[in-house]
Structure 1
Amino acid sequence: MYDFKSIEKKWQNYYEKERPYEVNLREAKKPFYNLMMFPYPSASGLHIGNMYSFIGSDVYGRYMRLKGYDVFEPIGFDAFGIHSENYALKVGKHPAELTPKSIEYFREEQLKKIGNIFDWRSEVNTSDPEYYRWTQWIFLKLYEAGLAEKRESTVNWCPSCKTVLADEQVIEGKCERCSTEITKRQMSQWFFKITKYADRLLENLDKLDWTEITKNIQRSWIGRSKGATIAFKVEGKDEYIEVFTTRPDTVYGVTYLVLAPEHKMTGSLIKADQESLFDDFLKTVNKMDEATRTSIKREKNGIFTGSFAIHPLTGERIPIWIGDYVLAEYGTGAVMAVPAHDERDYVFAKKYGLEVKQVIECSPEELPYTEYGVMINSGPYTGWKSEDFIEKVGEVHEKIRPTVNYHLHDWCVSRQRYWGPPIPIIYCDKCGIVPVPEEDLPVLLPETNDYIPDGSGLSPLARNAEFVNTTCPKCGNPAKRETDVSDNFLDSAWYFLRYVSPRDDKQPYDPELSKKWLPVDMYIGGNEHANLHLMYSRFITMALHDLGLLHFEEPFSSFRGHGLIIKDGQKMSKSKGNIVNPNDYFETHGVDALRTYLMFMGSFLEGGDFRDSGMDAIKRFLNRVWEIANLPEAKSPLELKIKMGETVEKVQYSIENIKYNTAIAAIMEFVNEALKYGSIERQLVIDLAKLLAPFAPFISEEIFELKGGKGGVLNAGFPAGYEKYLKLANIEIPVQINGKIRGKVLVSQGATQDEVLDVLKEDSKISRYLEGKEMKKVIYVPDKIMNIIVS
C-alpha cells in the first residue's frame, strides 16, 4: 500500500529545501514562461476552484520541463483591492493586519503543498510599496501620454461596496463581487482611454493563440459596429441631436426620436407642462438597473418632451420622446425610431400611437421587417438596395456621416476605498492637476484606523488631513492630494512583468530579462476574467509598447480558459454546504490523488463534477501504480513496449492540447495492461513515472528515485525511443471524401473514429477538402477505412 502521507511530506520538504526546478533567469537556454492567475488573499483559504486552475497550469509547465525547457513558473498575491478589504471588514480585522496573515496561510499551508514548480524567489505582493510604487509609475506614464484623464461622468455605484465600478465589473446590472444592484451617480473620476485602442484590441485577437470562447467574449465586449451618425436639428434652436444607427438605409422611416432620461439635452427639451411628469418618470428610471432597462422582454415606457426635431432629408417635424430603454452611456444616448423595421420601436410606437412608416419592401403583415431589402418611400433612393445605400451613405447628406461605434467604454480606475494604491496626483489652486514626481514614488498608503467607506462618494483617505494636505511640487504652495485609490485590476494588469525582476528598485522590470522571457508563453486561467483582467492587461501592454517601454504589444502569446467545477451535480455555494476545501483531501486521499482527479474528472477546458467516489477511484489507481513500481524487474514483452509507445504518444498529444483527462486515461490503460504481468522492465517504470509526473508529482518522484533516478524526475526528460515499437502498431487508414480517396493517415491500431478525425484534420492535403464544408455523415471501419460525406 502506498503511504502517501509520509512520501508526500518527504518530497514537499525536498522541493522546499532543494528547489530542483527553479531556473536561472539570466542564463537559461530554452526559456518558457508559464503563468497562472495569482490569487486574492480574501478568504480563509484557497478553494478547490483555485486549485483546479493552479494545478491545470502547472501540469503544462511540468510537461514543458520534461520536454527540456527552462520553465519559469512564478506566483504571487493580488493583495490590494475590494476583495481583500471586504473580507477584512467581514471578520473585523484591519486589511493591513489580515492580508499578510492570509498570504502566509495560502503560501505555507496550501500552495507549497500542492507540488507546483513555483519559483518562490519571484513572489510579488501588490500591496507591497515596492510593487505599487511601479503601479503608480504606470499611472503617471499613461497620464503623460494623454491616456489618463479626470472627468465628470455618470458612473456605476455599488451601495454595498460603497465605490464606483467599471462597466466590466457590472454583471446584469449587479456588482460582480457582491451581486448588489448598482445605481448611477454623477461623479468626477479618473479614466484610462482604453477606447483609443478598441480597433487594435479587436484586430489582434485574430492573431492570438487563445481559447476561441475567450476571444469571442472580448469581441462581443468591444462591440465594434459600422453605421452612420445622423444629426437631427431641434426645431426652433441652433442645436442638433445626434444618433448612431447601423441601419442608415431606414432613415426615411424615422417617425420619432428617443433620448435617454440622462441625456444632456433633456432638460432644455422638456416643455413646462411636462416637467412634473418627467420628474416622476426620472425617479422611476433611477430605481432600475441597466439590465432591466435594456431587457428585450420588458415593456418599454416613455414620455413626450413636447419638442420636435427636423428630419435632415425630408424636412418633416419629428416628435422627441424620452424612453427608459435608452442609455446615455451607449452610442450617443439617443436613437432614431423606425418602428416599421425595428421590433422595439414597433412595440413602443403601437403603445403610444406613433406613426409607422414602411421604407423597406415587404408585405404589411411582415412588419416589423428587420432584414435588408429594396428601399421604398425613400425619395430619390427608392428602388436602391439597402447594402448599396449603406455603402454610399457618406455621399447622401452633410448631416449623415459614416461612423464606427463601440460597446467598449473608457476604463474608470477611481475607487473610493482605502485598501489600494493612492492615485499619484496633486491638485494645486495655481497649477491645477500636477502629477507626483517619479522620485517621490511611492505615494504611501497611510496607516489609519479610519478606513471604512461611508457611502458619501468620497474615499476614506479624504478624511485623513495629514495625507490630504501637501505642497505643490511645481510652485511650492499648499495643495491637496487625490484621495481615490486605483482599481485593483490596474495592479494585476502588469504583474507578469514584475515577476521577472521583483526586487529591482530602479525600474518596474528589467529590459534585458523582459526581452528574454516575455511575452508570456502560456497563460491558463478562468474565462470570467476575459473582460476585466485580460482586456486591461492587453491595453496596458499596448500602451507601454507605444511609449517605447516594452518590445511587444500583446502580453500572452497563448491563453487557455478553463471550465468551472461543480459538486455532485450542483454549483458550489456555502448555502448548499458543498464547498470543497482542498486541505481536507490532502489528509484523506493525498495531494497526488487530488491533483490527478481534478485533471481527470472532465475536460479541463470545460470543467467537471467533483465527486468523492471519483477521488476514491483515483486513490486506488495510484496504489496500482505503486504496485507496478514494486514488481520484480525483468524483461517485458514486446506488446507492453508497444503499449508504452502508444501511451507516450497519447500523453504528449493530450497535454499539448490541454486534454488532461485523456492523457490520464491513457496512463490508466497502460497500468491495467502492465498489471497483467508479474514483472516489468526498469525503464518502463521510470517512463511511467515521467508520464505521471505532470499530474502526480510526489509518487512520481518517489518511483523515479526508487529506480535509481537522481536530480528530480522532471530533469530526466520526456520518455523517448519508442518510435520503433510504434511502427509495429501503427497502420495507414485511407480517407475517402464523397467517394474519392484523398489520402491516408497514420494512426495506432484500434484508433477510434474521433482519433482518426483529429489526425486527418491536421493533414493539410486532406483537410483542404473539408474547409468551409459541413460533414453530413462519417462512416468508419476500424483499422480499415474512413469515409466522409460533405456538402
Structure 2
Amino acid sequence: MTVPIESPHAPSPADQPAPYDPSAVERKWQQRWQERGTNRVDLSGGERPYYQLMMFPYPSAEGLHVGNLFAFTGADIQGRHQRQLGHTVFEPLGFDAFGIHSENFALKMGVHPAEMTPRNVANFRRQLERAGLMVDWRYVVDTSRPDYYKWTQWVFLQLLEKGLAYKKRAAVNWCPKDKTVLANEQVIAGACERCGTPVEQRLLEQWFFRITAYAERLLNDLDWLDWSETTKTAQRNWIGKSEGARVDFLVPNDGDTTAEEEAGASDNPMVMTGTPITVFTTRPDTIFGATYLVLAPEHPLVERITAPAQRAAVDDYRVRAGRKDLVARKSAVSAKEKTGVFTGAYAHNPATNALIPVWVADYVLMDYGTGAIMAVPGHDERDFEFATQFALPIVRVVAGPDGDADAPLTEAYTDDEQGRLVNSGRFDGLSVPEGIRAISAWLEEMGQGKAVTNYRLHDWTISRQRYWGPPIPVIYCDTCGTVPVPVDQLPVELPLTQDFKPDDSGVSPLARVKEWYEVPCPKCGALGRRETDVSDTFLDSAWYFLRYPSADRDDVPFDPALTKKWLPVNSYIGGNEHAVLHLLYSRFVTMVLHDMGHVDFDEPFTKFRAHGLLIRDGAKMSKSKGNVVNPDEYVEKWGADTLRTYLMFLGPYEEGGDFRDASISGVRRFLDRLWASVRDMTTETAPDPAVLRKLHQTIRKVGDDIPRLSYNTAIAAMMEYMKTLRFNERTPHRDEVMPLVQLVAPFAPHLAEELWERGTGDARSVFDAGWPVFDAALAAEDEIELAVQVNGKLRGRIRVLKEIAQADALAAALREENIAKFVTGEPKKVIFVPGRLLNVVV
C-alpha cells in the first residue's frame, strides 16, 4: 500500500548555509560503522558484558512494517544507552525463518520456500541496517539454515534423553485451513491464532514435550523475575495452578448394589468394589451436594459403564458431540441451554453413600482436569443450569452466616467468603476454607480421595504435519523401535522437494519423499523409516538466544565459556503476544538444559519488558486489516533518525501509540534545530546559568526515563530543553549543546555521530564517549515553591527565591489576592519554615 508522506519541514533561512540532510548523514555513518567495526563486539574480552535481546522477526515477503521497527528501535535505544554507560553491549538479531507463515505465502505465490526465504531475509536485513540498529551481523542466526537447525535437533535429542519427549496417540487441535496440529497455546478462543479458522479435534500420533513436569518451577520463578506484570499474569493464568482433591466415585460391579439400595448420608461410607470415576475438584467441601456426575463424551469409561438400554442414545450423542469443533464445544460450557444424555449407570458418592446418576455432556471437556466432574448444582452455575434442565436434585451444602440450611435455591449460591457448610454431616458450621481442608483429609484417610495440585498447563505438542520446518531426528526400526539420530549424523536435512503442499490426511508431505525417509537404522543397519513430521517453529525460537554468541561456530550449539559470560540475557524486549508461547517454552527448554548440566542458569531472561502496539486508522496494525506502513518511504523522505525518534514519541512505549503522518514534522523540526545549534554554537561567551540548570535537569530526566522505557517523556524533556537553548535566537554555548547530542544519540544515532564529530573533533564514536555527567548543584532551582497558610489552612502557593527572608516572603504572599483576602489587620504571628512553609496567624 502506498502511504502519502508529508514533505519535510523546510529549513529556515538561518539554517540554509548547512542544512541537515538525513540521507547523506545516514549513508555516511552506516558506511563508517561498517569500515570501523563500530558495532562489532569483543565477546571474549569485552568488559561489563550486557546482553540486550530483541525478539527476532519471521521474514515475510512484504518486508518490515513500522510496527516491527517500533519494537526494534525501543530495544536498540536500551542497548545504545547501556553502551554509553560503559558496558560492552551485545545486541544480536536474526530471522525466525521456518514455519507456516513462510510456507503458506510460498504456496500462494507458487515459489518454493527455500528460494523465497533467503530473498526475504536479505530484504529484512537491508531494512534493519538502514534503520541504524547497533547489530553485530557476524552473529546472525537463521532458523531455516542447516547450521542452525542442526542444533535445534540436538535440543530435541536432549529432551528425548531426559525422558521429556514422548510420542502418543492423543486428541489434538487440528487447523483445517493450515492442515496441521496446533499446540493449546496456539488456539485462541477456539480458533487458529494464525488464520482464525475454527479448530477441530483429531486423534493423531504426535510428539510431545513434558512441560507439565516443570509447571511448579515455571510458576514459582515468576515471583522474582523482573518482568512486565501483564506478562507474568498471563503465564500464571496459563499454568493455572489450582489446589483441590482427586476423588473416586465407584460405579458398583453388577450384583453389588442397585439404584434402589441408595443409602442416606453417612459419616461411614460403604466399602465396595467397582469401576472408579476419578474427578478433580477445587471444592471438595461441596461433595455432600454432589448429586450427579458428568463425563466428557470422549471419556474412555463411557463405553464401559453405559447400560445396554442407554447405549444407543449415548452412542448417538457422542457422534453428534464429535462433529462439533472446539469453538462450539467451548461455547457449550457457558451456554445456558445444556445438552446431555444419561448413561444408565450410577456411582457412589463417597461422602453420602448415595448412588448418583452418571451423565455424558459436551460442556465437560476432556482436556480439563480428568474429563469428569462431580456436579454440585447448588453451588455451580453450569451445574445448576444442567440440573434444572434435566430435573436432577439440587442440594444446598453452603449457606450464608444467617442462611437457612433448608432454604430452596433459585440459583447457585457461590458466596465462598461468607459461606458456612450445612447438610454436610459432622462438617456443618465450618467455613469454606476449613471445609476444603477437613473434607480433603477425611477422604484421603478413607482411601477415596487425595489432596492434589492440578494445573491447566498441558504437555507441549511439537509435531507439525507440514514441510517447512526442521525434521524431527528420529528413525523407526522394526527391530530396535524408536531410535534417536546420532549427534554426529546431524543435521537431518530437509529434502528439497517440489511436492510440499499439505493435505487433509494428517500426514506430513515428507511422507511422500520415499528416497529421503527410507534410511538404515543407526543401531542395527536394517532398513528404517525417518519421522516425517517436522517440529514446531516455537522450538526454533525456544533457544535462539543461546546460539547468538556462538553463531560463528559449527562444533557446539553454544560455547560454554561465552554462554557463562553473556547469559542469562540482561534485558529482553518484545511483544506481549508471546507472553505464553515463546517465553514459556524458552523458560522450559532452559530449565531442562540447566538440569542436564549444559548451562549454569535456569531462567533465560533476567529482565523482560513488553512493548505496546501501534494503531493506525483506529485499529491495530496488521496485514489483514491493510493498515500497515512500510518504513522505507518514511526513511527515504524523513530519515531513519526522524522515524526512530517519532516512533518513540508516539506514546508510552509499553502501551504503544497512534501512527499519524502529520505528527512526524514536529520531530523533524527538533532535529533540524539540534543540527543548527551545533552549527551555530560558540565558546566566546560564558554559558547561561539558567540554561545550564535546565540542561542538568534534562540530563537527570532522560537518564531516569530511558531505563524505564519512558521514551516519549525523555524526548519531550529534550524538546523542552531545546526551547530554552534557542530562546530569543541566542547563540548557544558549546557546553550547552554537546551534552544534548549525547542524550539524543540512542534515539537518532546517525545524526548524533555526525554532530559529535563536528562539535568535538573526537574520533571516537559518540557511543564510546560516555553519558553526560549530571551535576545536582547546577540542576538546583534558584526559586522554590512555598506553601502559604492562614490560621493553619492552606490558602495558596508562591514562587520565591530559595534564600528569601521571612519579611520578603510575607510581602510576596500578601501580593497574591487569593491569599491576602484572608489576612485582615496586622498578623498576630508569622511562622516561617525556610524552603517549605509560611503560616500567617490573624
For normalisation by structure 1, the TM-score amounts to 0.91
1:309 equivalenced with 2:347 (yes/no) = yes
Post-superposition offset of 1:380:
2.4
- Structure 1 gaps of 5+ residues are 740-747, 750-782, 786-791
Supply the distance in 1 between the matched residues of 2:325 and 2:176 (Cα, whole angstroms): 13
Supply the distance in 2 between the matched residues of 1:431 and 1:575 (Cα, whole angstroms): 49
Contact 1:641 1:722 in 2 (8 A): no
- How many residue pairs get matched? 741
Q: Which has the larger radius of gyration?
A: 2
Residues 245-324 of structure 1 correspond to what in structure 2 (within 5 A)? Answer: 245-295=281-331, 296-297=334-335, 299-324=337-362
Post-superposition offset of 1:450:
1.1
Report the 3-state secondary structure (helix = DSSP H, G, I; strand = E; otherwise coil) of the residue aligned with 2:680.
Answer: coil
Report the 3-state secondary structure (helix = DSSP H, G, I; strand = E; otherwise coil) of the residue aligned with 2:615.
Answer: strand
* Counterpart residue number, 1:742: none
1:212 equivalenced with 2:229 (yes/no) = yes
1:53 maps to which of 50, 63, 71: 71
Contact 1:292 1:298 in 2 (8 A): no
Structure 1 pair 730–300 and aligned structure 2 pair: CA distance change class (3 A): farther
Contact 2:67 2:621 in 1 (8 A): no
* Counterpart residue number, 1:87: 105
Amino acid at match of 2:762: G
- Could you report, residue by residue, the CA deviation over 1:431-467 in whole angstroms, capped at 9, with x for unpaired residues? 1111111111111111111111112101111111111
* Counterpart residue number, 1:592: 641
* 4+ residue segments displaced more than 6 Å: 730-734
2:208 maps to which of 191, 194, 204: 191
1:378 equivalenced with 2:424 (yes/no) = yes
Supply the distance in 2 between the matched residues of 1:580 and 1:22 (Cα, whole angstroms): 31
Structure 1 pair 20–684 and aligned structure 2 pair: CA distance change class (3 A): farther
Post-superposition offset of 1:287:
4.3
Amino acid at match of 1:31: P
Supply the distance in 1 between the matched residues of 2:734 and 2:427 (Cα, whole angstroms): 83
Report the 3-state secondary structure (helix = DSSP H, G, I; strand = E; otherwise coil) of the residue aligned with 2:657.
Answer: strand
1:361 maps to which of 399, 403, 409: 399
Report the 3-state secondary structure (helix = DSSP H, G, I; strand = E; otherwise coil) of the residue aligned with 1:402.
Answer: strand
* Counterpart residue number, 1:773: none
* Counterpart residue number, 2:722: 671
2:40 maps to which of 11, 22, 35: 22
* Counterpart residue number, 1:570: 619
Amino acid at match of 2:458: H
Structure 1 pair 632–377 and aligned structure 2 pair: CA distance change class (3 A): closer
- Could you report, residue by residue, the CA deviation over 1:98-137 in whole angstroms, capped at 9, with x for unpaired residues? 00010011112x0110111001010011111111111111
- Structure 2 gaps of 5+ residues are 1-18, 255-273, 793-800, 803-834, 838-842
* Counterpart residue number, 1:12: 30
Contact 1:20 1:711 in 2 (8 A): no
Amino acid at match of 2:442: E
Supply the distance in 2 between the matched residues of 1:733 and 1:414 (Cα, whole angstroms): 69
Name the stretch that deviates more: 267-276 or 68-77: 267-276
Structure 1 pair 135–711 and aligned structure 2 pair: CA distance change class (3 A): same
Supply the distance in 2 between the matched residues of 1:273 and 1:30 (Cα, whole angstroms): 76
1:329 equivalenced with 2:367 (yes/no) = yes
Q: RMSD over aligned Cα, in angstroms?
A: 2.1
Contact 1:183 1:286 in 2 (8 A): no
* Counterpart residue number, 1:765: none
Supply the distance in 1 between the matched residues of 2:115 and 2:390 (Cα, whole angstroms): 60
Report the 3-state secondary structure (helix = DSSP H, G, I; strand = E; otherwise coil) of the residue aligned with 1:242.
Answer: strand
Contact 1:195 1:408 in 2 (8 A): yes
Post-superposition offset of 1:495:
0.4
Amino acid at match of 1:101: R
- Could you report, residue by residue, the CA deviation over 1:540-565 in whole angstroms, capped at 9, with x for unpaired residues? 00000000111000000000001111
Post-superposition offset of 1:592:
0.9
Name the stretch that deviates more: 159-168 or 725-734: 725-734
Post-superposition offset of 1:267:
2.0
Supply the distance in 2 between the matched residues of 1:221 and 1:338 (Cα, whole angstroms): 25
Post-superposition offset of 1:284:
3.8
* Counterpart residue number, 1:236: 253
Supply the distance in 2 between the matched residues of 1:402 and 1:732 (Cα, whole angstroms): 62
- Could you report, residue by residue, the CA deviation over 1:653-672 in whole angstroms, capped at 9, with x for unpaired residues? 10011111010010000111
Contact 1:58 1:117 in 2 (8 A): yes
Residues 151-230 of structure 1 correspond to what in structure 2 (within 5 A)? Answer: 151-230=168-247
Supply the distance in 2 between the matched residues of 1:733 and 1:657 (Cα, whole angstroms): 31
- Could you report, residue by residue, the CA deviation over 1:553-611 in whole angstroms, capped at 9, with x for unpaired residues? 00000000011110143333456542211111111221111101111100000111111
2:737 maps to which of 670, 685, 688: 685
Supply the distance in 1 between the matched residues of 2:709 and 2:782 (Cα, whole angstroms): 25
Name the stretch that deviates more: 449-458 or 393-402: 393-402
* Counterpart residue number, 2:466: 417
Supply the distance in 1 between the matched residues of 2:167 and 2:732 (Cα, whole angstroms): 71
Post-superposition offset of 1:627:
2.0
Amino acid at match of 2:368: Y
Name the stretch that deviates more: 197-206 or 344-353: 344-353
Report the 3-state secondary structure (helix = DSSP H, G, I; strand = E; otherwise coil) of the residue aligned with 2:549.
Answer: coil
Amino acid at match of 1:388: E
* Counterpart residue number, 1:141: 158
Residues 393-542 of structure 1 correspond to what in structure 2 (within 5 A)? Answer: 393-396=440-443, 397-542=446-591
Post-superposition offset of 1:300:
2.4
Name the stretch that deviates more: 326-335 or 233-242: 233-242
1:694 equivalenced with 2:738 (yes/no) = no
* Counterpart residue number, 2:755: 703
Structure 1 pair 693–350 and aligned structure 2 pair: CA distance change class (3 A): same
Supply the distance in 2 between the matched residues of 1:442 and 1:575 (Cα, whole angstroms): 36
Amino acid at match of 1:248: P
* Counterpart residue number, 2:689: 638
Residues 608-757 of structure 1 correspond to what in structure 2 (within 5 A)? Answer: 608-634=657-683, 635-676=686-727, 677-707=729-759, 708-728=761-781
* Counterpart residue number, 2:91: 73
Contact 2:201 2:326 in 1 (8 A): no
Identity %: 51
Supply the distance in 2 between the matched residues of 1:699 and 1:577 (Cα, whole angstroms): 33
Contact 2:336 2:382 in 1 (8 A): no
Contact 1:636 1:679 in 2 (8 A): no
Supply the distance in 1 between the matched residues of 2:626 and 2:63 (Cα, whole angstroms): 16
Report the 3-state secondary structure (helix = DSSP H, G, I; strand = E; otherwise coil) of the residue aligned with 2:378.
Answer: helix
1:390 equivalenced with 2:436 (yes/no) = yes
* Counterpart residue number, 1:776: none
Contact 1:642 1:729 in 2 (8 A): no
Supply the distance in 2 between the matched residues of 1:523 and 1:54 (Cα, whole angstroms): 11
Report the 3-state secondary structure (helix = DSSP H, G, I; strand = E; otherwise coil) of the residue aligned with 1:658.
Answer: coil
Report the 3-state secondary structure (helix = DSSP H, G, I; strand = E; otherwise coil) of the residue aligned with 1:133.
Answer: helix
Post-superposition offset of 1:702:
1.3
Amino acid at match of 1:148: A
Supply the distance in 2 between the matched residues of 1:588 and 1:299 (Cα, whole angstroms): 59
Contact 2:336 2:385 in 1 (8 A): no
* Counterpart residue number, 1:774: none
Supply the distance in 2 between the matched residues of 1:683 and 1:617 (Cα, whole angstroms): 25
Structure 1 pair 581–510 and aligned structure 2 pair: CA distance change class (3 A): same
Amino acid at match of 1:404: T
Post-superposition offset of 1:507:
1.0
* Counterpart residue number, 2:814: none
Supply the distance in 2 between the matched residues of 1:732 and 1:339 (Cα, whole angstroms): 64
- Could you report, residue by residue, the CA deviation over 1:470-512 in whole angstroms, capped at 9, with x for unpaired residues? 1111111111111111001001000000001112222100000
Structure 1 pair 599–420 and aligned structure 2 pair: CA distance change class (3 A): same
